[in-house]
Amino acid sequence: MSVKSSCLSFYVSLQECFGYCKAFVVGQGKRLMARNEKEATTADLQTAKMQVEAADDADEKKMHIHNSN
């Protein structure tokens, strides 16, 4: 693995971390603004979905980086 691909993988990992943080903040904001339990549950589900999407996107990018070498 070259230095360039290692740096790109690290950058993608940072993006994944920011995606998790964004999902957490958005989810907490929606949860705080929820008027009932259904909206709170919806906010939790959206948070989980955003976190999974961030992880999937990062895995796809890392796979592309490693396969291009």
What would the pLDDT profile of 17-52 be if each residue is shown by its tens digit?
A: 999 999 999 999 999 999 999 999 999 999 999 999
64 has pLDDT over 70: yes
Please tell me the total count of domains within the chain.
1
**Which residue has tokens 């971390």?**
17
14-18, long-range: CB within 8 Å, 24+ apart, which pairs?
15/54, 15/57, 15/58, 15/61, 16/54, 16/55, 16/57, 16/58
Q: For residue 68, what pLDDT band results from cuts at 50, 70 and 90?
A: confident
- Residue 1's pLDDT is what? 66
Task: Give the domain range for residue 62.
Answer: 3-67
CA separation for the pair 2, 7 (Å, rounded): 9
What is the pTM for the complete model shown? 0.85
